[in-house]
């Protein structure tokens, strides 16, 4: 393996490849900053362009876009409390309070360094564990996936707010919304009211951007209107704020970094669970392990570290099932599989055998991309941090416009914009009533998977729910679900 990786570095370490990696990361960060776009939209738009590139340059460029887009969503989350991507919502919980204290640059540095570190750990695990972990993933059937998703929902409801009941209600609302559209089995209409636009269900980007980003922007605009302006830090106050982040301070959180990277890698290796789940699982784990859990949500850097390390760790790990099994770990991995196929590379068990030279060159490119990401991200931090000193009355209206444009561009659909506005109103209502919006979004994201796995389980076992007791993996996760729920209710 070492010899193949060294040969891969020899093939990947070219000026052309490095330029494509740098271009991909830069584009990913810029697009990730725009609410509603993110790395998935960027990949979908840019894949056709790579048809004219060499296979290695094309895949390295797209991996760079994915890496940059995943971390880029943290920038508006920290500076504006408006996540560029759904998974960055957890970053906003502690990143934005730090920015309001005048520590925007430190928060951005925590996010960048955590992202690069988690990504690097994930890439190393991908290289080492691609074959054995693929065998473990094969053991997960419908029963196991159902139990894992129930555990994820229970864990999320317990960490998302003061009331686990409200968290569970919000998740249930999200799961219910995910059922709108055509039935995946028999194609019957479910709550579409003869509207053709609803046959595919609510658009994910419209729901996420409306309930998370636009609801936040509208809420801040209402606050400014009621307060008749806002108090800003003076130039003298801003100049006295500490912006340095010594390496010793950052790596002093090594336990959080390592734990979060492993959580993100574990989630990424299981097909379909996604980046958002990794972010909130990691955030919850960091909060439970902290000696001061009450400081989370008020500007604790460990909240940023946990979220960003886990987010970026998924980027490398989700290629494990994609390369070893041909099964995408998430939407971004599915798009990358499409790019592989465009260039004549068939993902699956024989991929390493038939295209080993290219795959190890890709692994080398991913490791090099982390270094490029660190340089480009570090250069841009002072520029992004200046936004924190811009009055919100100037910043928020353009963000509002970007939300609308970001939702409209992918499908050029006015219907999607209308859905976004409707969920912005719902998001504001959730904020006022104390229901966690993020729980609803994750319930919507994972609701389809929960429905499919549960229906498959019932069909396979003739609606016998005791079949869950016959699967050791499912039984363990169901026991953990009950434990987490009872513990959360007792604490509440």
Distance CA 305, CA 32 (A): 18
How many alpha carbons lie under 13 Å from residue 414 in its C-beta half-sphere? 0
- Decide: residue 472, CB within 10 A, 0-12 exposed, 13-18 middle, 19+ buried: exposed
pLDDT of residue 120: 92
pLDDT of residue 385: 59
Domain count, the chain: 1
Q: How confident is the model at residue 242 (pLDDT cuts 50, 70, 90)?
A: low
- Decide: residue 383, CB within 10 A, 0-12 exposed, 13-18 middle, 19+ buried: exposed
Distance CA 294, CA 300 (A): 9
Q: How confident is the model at residue 105 (pLDDT cuts 50, 70, 90)?
A: confident
pLDDT digits (tens, 9 = 90+) for 216-236: 778 878 877 777 655 554 433
Using an 8 Å Cβ cutoff, are 54 and 67 in contact? no
| Highest mean pLDDT out of 45-49, 293-297, 382-386 | 293-297
pLDDT of residue 235: 39
What would the two tokens of residue 294 be?
Answer: 């009450």
The DSSP-derived string for 139-150 is T--HHHHHHHHH
Residue 371 belongs to domain spanning = 2-491
pLDDT of residue 474: 86
Across 407-416, average pLDDT: 77
pLDDT above 70 as % of the chain:
83
pLDDT digits (tens, 9 = 90+) for 48-93: 677 778 888 888 898 888 888 888 888 888 877 766 666 777 888 8
Across 111-115, average pLDDT: 91
What would the two tokens of residue 92 be?
Answer: 């906003």
Using an 8 Å Cβ cutoff, are 86 and 445 in contact? yes
Using an 8 Å Cβ cutoff, are 91 and 304 in contact? yes
Using an 8 Å Cβ cutoff, are 59 and 19 in contact? no
| Highest mean pLDDT out of 152-161, 274-283, 381-390 | 274-283
Distance CA 217, CA 402 (A): 11
Distance CA 323, CA 460 (A): 28
* Higher-scoring residue by pLDDT: 448, 3: 448
Across 432-448, average pLDDT: 81
What would the two tokens of residue 177 be?
Answer: 């919304």
Across 387-394, average pLDDT: 62
pLDDT digits (tens, 9 = 90+) for 446-481: 788 888 888 888 888 888 888 888 888 888 888 988
Q: How confident is the model at residue 386 (pLDDT cuts 50, 70, 90)?
A: low
The yes-or-no verdict on residue 36 having pLDDT over 70 is no
pLDDT of residue 75: 83
Lowest mean pLDDT among 150-159, 168-177, 283-292: 150-159
pLDDT of residue 403: 75
3-state secondary structure of 181: strand
Q: How confident is the model at residue 173 (pLDDT cuts 50, 70, 90)?
A: very high
Could you list the beta-strand ranges (E) of 108-251. 181-182, 189-190
pLDDT of residue 176: 92
pLDDT of residue 233: 45
| Highest mean pLDDT out of 84-98, 286-300, 316-330, 331-345 | 286-300
Contacts of 243 (CB under 8 A, 6+ apart): 103, 105, 106, 385
184-191 contacts, C-beta under 8 A, 24 or more apart: 184/448, 184/451, 184/452, 185/455
Across 127-155, average pLDDT: 75
pLDDT of residue 138: 62
The overall average pLDDT reported for the chain is 79
Q: Shortest CA distance to 377 belongs to which of 34, 60, 64?
A: 64
Distance CA 79, CA 341 (A): 39
Q: How confident is the model at residue 238 (pLDDT cuts 50, 70, 90)?
A: very low
CA 370, 360, 7 angle in degrees (round to 5)?
100
The yes-or-no verdict on residue 286 having pLDDT over 80 is yes
The yes-or-no verdict on residue 41 having pLDDT over 70 is no
pLDDT of residue 56: 85
* Higher-scoring residue by pLDDT: 314, 238: 314
């Amino acid at each position: 393996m070492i010899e193949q990786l060294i040969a891969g570095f020899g093939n990947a370490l070219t000026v052309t490849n490095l330029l494509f990696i740098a271009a991909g990361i830069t584009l990913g960060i810029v697009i990730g900053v725009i609410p509603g776009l993110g790395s998935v939209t960027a990949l979908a738009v840019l894949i056709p362009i790579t048809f004219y590139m060499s296979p290695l340059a094309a895949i390295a460029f797209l991996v760079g876009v994915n890496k940059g887009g995943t971390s880029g969503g943290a920038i508006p989350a920290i500076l504006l409390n408006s996540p560029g991507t759904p998974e960055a919502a957890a970053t906003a919980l502690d990143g934005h309070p730090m920015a309001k204290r005048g520590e925007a640059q430190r928060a951005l540095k925590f996010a960048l360094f955590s992202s690069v570190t988690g990504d690097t750990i994930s890439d190393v695990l991908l290289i080492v564990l691609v074959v054995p972990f693929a065998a473990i993933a094969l053991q997960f059937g419908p029963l196991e996936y159902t139990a894992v998703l129930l555990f994820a929902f229970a864990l999320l409801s317990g960490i998302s707010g003061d009331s686990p009941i409200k968290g569970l209600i919000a998740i249930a609302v999200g799961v219910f919304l995910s059922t709108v559209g055509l039935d995946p089995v028999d194609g019957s209409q479910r709550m579409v009211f003869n509207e053709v636009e609803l046959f595919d269900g609510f658009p994910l980007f419209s729901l996420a951007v409306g309930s998370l980003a636009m609801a936040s922007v509208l809420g801040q605009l209402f606050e400014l209107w009621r307060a008749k302006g806002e108090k800003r830090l003076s130039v003298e106050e801003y100049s006295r704020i500490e912006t340095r982040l010594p390496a010793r301070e950052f790596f002093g959180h090594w336990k959080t970094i390592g734990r979060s990277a492993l959580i993100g890698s574990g989630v990424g290796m299981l097909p379909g669970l996604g980046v958002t789940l990794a972010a909130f699982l990691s955030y919850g784990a960091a909060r439970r392990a902290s000696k001061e859990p009450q400081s989370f949500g008020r500007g604790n850097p460990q909240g940023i570290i946990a979220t960003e390390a886990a987010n970026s760790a998924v980027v490398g790990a989700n290629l494990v099932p994609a390369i070893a099994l041909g099964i995408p770990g998430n939407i971004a991995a599915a798009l990358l599989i499409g790019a592989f196929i465009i260039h004549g590379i068939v993902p699956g068990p024989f991929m390493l055998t038939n295209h080993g030279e290219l795959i190890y060159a890709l692994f080398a490119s991913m490791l090099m991309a982390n270094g490029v990401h660190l340089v480009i991200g570090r250069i841009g931090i002072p520029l992004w941090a200046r936004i924190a000193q811009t009055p919100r009355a100037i910043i928020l209206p353009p963000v509002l416009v970007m939300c609308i444009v970001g939702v409209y561009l992918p499908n050029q659909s006015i219907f999607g914009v209308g859905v976004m506005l409707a969920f912005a109103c719902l998001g504001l209502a959730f904020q006022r009533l104390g229901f966690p919006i993020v729980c609803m979004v994750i319930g919507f994201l994972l609701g389809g998977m929960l429905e499919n796995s549960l229906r498959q389980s019932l069909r396979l076992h003739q609606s016998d729910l005791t079949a869950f007791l016959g699967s050791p993996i499912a039984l363990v996760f169901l026991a953990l679900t009950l434990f987490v729920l009872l513990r959360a209710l007792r604490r509440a």
